[in-house]
Structure 1
Amino acid sequence: MSQQALPLAGFRVIDYSHFLAGPYVGRCLAALGAEVIKIERPKTGDAGRQHAWFVGEDGEYSGYFLQLNMGKKGVCVNMKDPRGREFMEKLVDTADVFIENYRPGALTKMGLGYEDLARRNPGLVYCSISAYGHTGPDSHRAGFGLIAEAKSGIMQMVGTPGEAPPLLRISLGDMYTGIHAVAAINAALLGRVKSGQGQHIDMALYDTLVSMHEYAVQCYTLSGGQEVPVQTGHDMPTSTLYGVFRAQDGDLVIAAQVDDAWKRFAALVEQHGGPAGFASDARLHTAAGRNAHRLDILAVVKPWVAAQPVAEVLALLDAIDVPGAKVQRIDEVLADPQIQARGMVVEQDHPVLGKIKLPNLPFRFSGCDTTIHQVAPDLGQDNAEIAASVGFSAEQIADMQKDGVLYSA
């Protein structure tokens, strides 16, 4: 296989973001070949550096930061100094993309809003990520992924009826918005080829999670407001049989909601100890019939699964081509031969920590490898290189470093 250049090779990205959604966008663009320059504030840097899990002799490295900022160059600049502002202006002039995820208006006060930067660089693709977006009555409000998950209606549908919904334990709002931002940035760069102009991309966590509803919104609107999806616990009343079941030694999921799969599954259950006539019950041979008699089905399937180990149930399902899977812990995920075969864990050589393992991105191209082997930068690690690339002399750089305008740990 001939290796092609990475798709975004030659593009320069300024990552002026923190924590999760913005840094994730920068990491994705770096994997696709862009030169991504991570901008941080002096001394403390990105707040993600203070987020667990901590590693190192004194816990000085954040796994959170290492994961989200691999493949980037690191610059730490004091924007309160006029030389720091000049540095940023010159850097923006050379950039194709600018990423930020501050509350709307915050960067405008610093002269780093879209209008200011676009006047200097009309081709700039400027991507903002915030909780509510830059328009609307809530645009001024702060928020995190948790807020968007609660507001979006997703959290309300998760969990056991009658109980408060659980935390999702993954940052769905940030990551889903982040990958949409990656798509939008690439589309804007492609559009710039024809127009010659950049533009402002306004991404909101709340928007992206509302867009994620593949069922709930149309369920409500097309029923004339009569149907409101609610918590259903461990299965889906509108898609029987599809859910989570407890076996002797763990939990598994079964997806036998399609008519043909259901018939094979029902025959399997009857053959292996289920009630006689279960497979031939014509009431259960259509989706509507199964949904109408869902509780009767669960009364058979739950004890049937519970009487067997997970591995035995899955072996039976595999034999009849009905999808099923164990509910895995994270240690089981990382040991999964499929995940290993797909290269979904990347090993990097860190100059202090030695070999570290972090999750890879899911990009797979036939002509190039997007795996990032470069570790996340230390604070201000690439100050001199980037300053020189935008025209500062060695003497100017030395003065800025001495005065803390360009700060390094």
Structure 2
Amino acid sequence: MTQPLPLDGIRVIDFTHFLAGPHLSRSLAAMGADVIKVERPKGGDAGRQHPYFKDGQSGYFLQQNMGKRGLCLNLKEQRGMDLMKRLAQKADVFVENFRPGALTKLGLGYADLVKDNPGLVYCSISAFGHTGPKSDQPGFGLIAEAISGAMAQLGEPDQAPPLMRMPIADMYTGMHGVAAVNAALLGRVKSGKGRHIDLALYDCMVSMHDYAVQQYFLSGGKVMPKKHGSRQPESTVYGAFRAKDGDLVIAAQVDNVWARLANVIGGKAEDERFRTPAGRNDNHAEVYTMVEDWAIGQDGVAHCIAQLDAAQVPCAPVQTVDQIVRDPQILARGMLIEQDHPVLGKVTLPNLPFRFSDCDTTPKCPAPLLGQHNAEIARELDYGAAEIAAMTDDGVLYAEEAAR
């Protein structure tokens, strides 16, 4: 028998835009929370203006806001602010990703809202956090990725580092937010009180360093990570290799796997110098060249993979998007979901990876049209039909044409 989702009954106000915040709240929605996406009139979340577009709808916005309800308010009008504060009084979680201090000026900071709702879990996401000398500076994921030391390790030695092309800082911070919000909700069970969560993209990127920072300190500051392209010299062999018709990755950095790989490629690979991790790292250029020469000498990626799989050497093709969306493993895991959108009809988007043993995390609805649930949410806050109609007529509540 299917059980309720873990966050069933939890109400979340999503006062965020673009990516880190919306991804956090989308994840909470997948876990069962009632997430109300609050947006400004006319434009809404800036993510709505981000490609890819079809029939005026942003696929970027659709992906990060599925499973939510939509409320569009003019907070410059007192009735709009009153409705917002009434909503906050009945919320469990408030998520925002504006520059520190911006919501305090509006009267929607943590100190403002906790007065009437001491159990509120209030999560703030920003580029640099609410403390420190950079706290008032704006920033995007790209900024955090650059200054965190991550980009300095990417690419070829004589070239500018490549962009990561997937929003690591935003998504990683969003997932830290999911963990922190859930921890705060659990803590509230005992204390009865909420708390403020201060998450910074920069902090999250620095926390991701698994090797470079400890290498720097343990060497007394003598060792700095360098760019090595598709190689990983401190973990030989662990990298990407070119075949005749594409690319593949091989992970043979531990002794027993290296021995199996050496048996596949033969020749000098069985040299005594390469039998230990230290030996392979000391001679990484020679080792990588041997593997590169073997890979390019085969009949293609599939031929390389077949031999490595037979020898139980971890490997994979470097897949393109058109291959991913047809991968039987992805399809079997339900990582692509089809939704009925009121404007676009059938849309297919990436799912989230949460899997619970006794409940279904499939999003119940697509991302909301701008202002789609205005009246519904206002009624839940005890507004009467006449009040809702007046606020709609006066532009306090706004909805795009397709949602009217």
TM-score range with shorter-chain normalisation? Answer: over 0.9
3-state secondary structure, aligned to 2:202: helix
| Cα shift readout 1:203-235 (whole Å, capped 9, x = no counterpart) | 000000000001111111111111111111111
Structure 2's unaligned 5+ residue stretches are none
Counterpart position of 1:378: 369
Counterpart position of 2:348: 357
d(CA) in 2 for partners of 1:391, 1:222:
61
Q: Following superposition of structure 1 onto structure 2, how do residues 174-253 of structure 1 map, counting pairs within 5 Å?
A: 174-253=170-249
Mapped pair 1:408 → 2:399:
yes
TM-score normalised to the size of structure 2?
A: 0.98
- Indicate the RMSD between aligned Cα atoms, in angstroms: 0.8
Structure 1's unaligned 5+ residue stretches are none
On the 8 A contact 1:97/1:124 being kept in 2, the answer is: yes
Q: Following superposition of structure 1 onto structure 2, how do residues 191-340 of structure 1 map, counting pairs within 5 Å?
A: 191-270=187-266, 275=267, 278-279=269-270, 281-308=271-298, 309-340=300-331
Counterpart position of 1:150: 146
Residue 293 of structure 1 and its aligned partner are, at CA, apart by 1.4
Mapped pair 1:39 → 2:44:
no
Residue 351 of structure 1 and its aligned partner are, at CA, apart by 1.9
3-state secondary structure, aligned to 1:15: strand
d(CA) in 2 for partners of 1:229, 1:184:
31
d(CA) in 1 for partners of 2:130, 2:287:
49
3-state secondary structure, aligned to 2:269: coil
Residue 26 of structure 1 and its aligned partner are, at CA, apart by 1.1
Residue 193 of structure 1 and its aligned partner are, at CA, apart by 0.2
Counterpart position of 2:161: 165
d(CA) in 2 for partners of 1:299, 1:381:
58
3-state secondary structure, aligned to 1:36: strand
**Aligned partner of 2:86 among 90, 95, 101:** 90
The code of the aligned residue for 2:71 comes to V
Counterpart position of 2:18: 19
| Cα shift readout 1:239-294 (whole Å, capped 9, x = no counterpart) | 11111110010011111111001111101111xxxx2x532x22111000111111
Counterpart position of 2:333: 342
d(CA) in 1 for partners of 2:289, 2:380:
69
Counterpart position of 1:78: 74
Residue 300 of structure 1 and its aligned partner are, at CA, apart by 1.7
| Cα shift readout 1:17-60 (whole Å, capped 9, x = no counterpart) | 1111111111101000000000000111111110000012xxx1
Identify if the C-alpha distance between structure 1 residues 394 and 255 changes in structure 2 by more than 3 Å, giving closer, same or farther. same
Counterpart position of 2:129: 133
On the 8 A contact 1:39/1:77 being kept in 2, the answer is: yes
d(CA) in 1 for partners of 2:35, 2:364:
14
Structure 1 range deviating more: 181-190 or 217-226: 217-226
Percent of aligned pairs with the same amino acid: 61
**Aligned partner of 1:105 among 91, 101, 104:** 101
d(CA) in 2 for partners of 1:123, 1:278:
62
Mapped pair 1:51 → 2:50:
yes
The code of the aligned residue for 2:399 comes to S
The code of the aligned residue for 1:368 comes to C
On the 8 A contact 1:347/1:373 being kept in 2, the answer is: no
On the 8 A contact 1:177/1:205 being kept in 2, the answer is: yes
Residue 299 of structure 1 and its aligned partner are, at CA, apart by 2.6
3-state secondary structure, aligned to 1:109: helix
d(CA) in 1 for partners of 2:60, 2:105:
29
TM-score normalised to the size of structure 1?
A: 0.96
d(CA) in 2 for partners of 1:298, 1:71:
46
Counterpart position of 1:61: 57
The code of the aligned residue for 1:299 comes to T
d(CA) in 2 for partners of 1:216, 1:128:
28
The code of the aligned residue for 2:173 comes to T
Mapped pair 1:395 → 2:377:
no
d(CA) in 2 for partners of 1:64, 1:212:
25
d(CA) in 1 for partners of 2:214, 2:229:
21
d(CA) in 2 for partners of 1:78, 1:268:
66
d(CA) in 1 for partners of 2:147, 2:61:
27
d(CA) in 2 for partners of 1:169, 1:198:
36
d(CA) in 2 for partners of 1:219, 1:343:
39
3-state secondary structure, aligned to 1:397: helix
d(CA) in 1 for partners of 2:269, 2:374:
70
d(CA) in 1 for partners of 2:371, 2:19:
19
On the 8 A contact 1:244/1:254 being kept in 2, the answer is: yes
Residue 327 of structure 1 and its aligned partner are, at CA, apart by 0.7
d(CA) in 2 for partners of 1:386, 1:302:
60
